[in-house]
Amino acid sequence: MPLPNRGSEKRAVPSGSGVLLIVGLSMLPVLVWLDSSSALSIQPIQTIVTFMAWITWLGYGGFDIGIFVALMVAGLCAGRRELTRRGFVAALTVLGAGLLGQIVKNVVCRARPNAPLAGTFFAEFPCFPAKHALSSFPSGHAAAAFATAIFLSFWYPSGRWLFFTLATLVAISRVVLGAHFPSDSLGGVLIGSASALFVYARIPAARRTTP
For 154, other C-beta atoms within 10 Å of its C-beta total 24
Question: Is residue 43 pLDDT above 70, yes or no?
Answer: no
Residue 197 φ/ψ region, left for φ over 0, alpha for ψ in the -120 to 50 degree band, beta for the rest = alpha
- Least confident range of 42-56, 61-75, 82-96, 163-177: 42-56
Can you give the pLDDT at residue 7? 45
Q: Which amino acid is at 191?
A: I
Q: Rounded CA gap, 209 and 2, in Å? A: 17
The average confidence (pLDDT) of the chain is 88
User: What is the distance between the alpha carbons of residues 128 and 4, in angstroms, rounded to a whole number?
Assistant: 41
Q: How many residues does the chain have?
A: 211
Going by the DSSP 8-state scheme, the letter that residue 13 receives in this structure is S
pLDDT at 26: 80
Is pLDDT above 90 for 56? yes
pTM, entire model = 0.86
Portion of the chain with pLDDT greater than 70, in percent? 87
More confident residue, 69 or 38: 69
Residue 3: the pLDDT is 46
